[in-house]
Structure 1
Amino acid sequence: ILIDETGIELQEHIMEKIRNFPDVLKDKKHLQSFLGVVNFAGIFIKDLAKYRKDFRPLLKETESLKWKWEEIHTQRVRELKQVCSNLSKLAIPQDEDELVVYTDANDYRWAALLMKKTTTREEPCRYTGGLFSEQQAQVWHINEK
Structure 2
Amino acid sequence: MNNLANAALAAALSLLPLPGLAHIHLQPESAQAGQVLDLALVVGHGCAGASTTALRVSLPAGVTAEPLAQPGWQPVTGKGEIGWQGGPLPEHDKARFVLRATLAADVQPLVRLPVIQTCGQTEQRWIDPEAGDDHPAPALTVLPAK
Report the TM-score when normalising by structure 1. Answer: 0.24
Structure that is richer in helix per residue: 1
Report the TM-score when normalising by structure 2. Answer: 0.24
Bigger relative CO (Cα 8 Å, ≥ 6 apart): 2
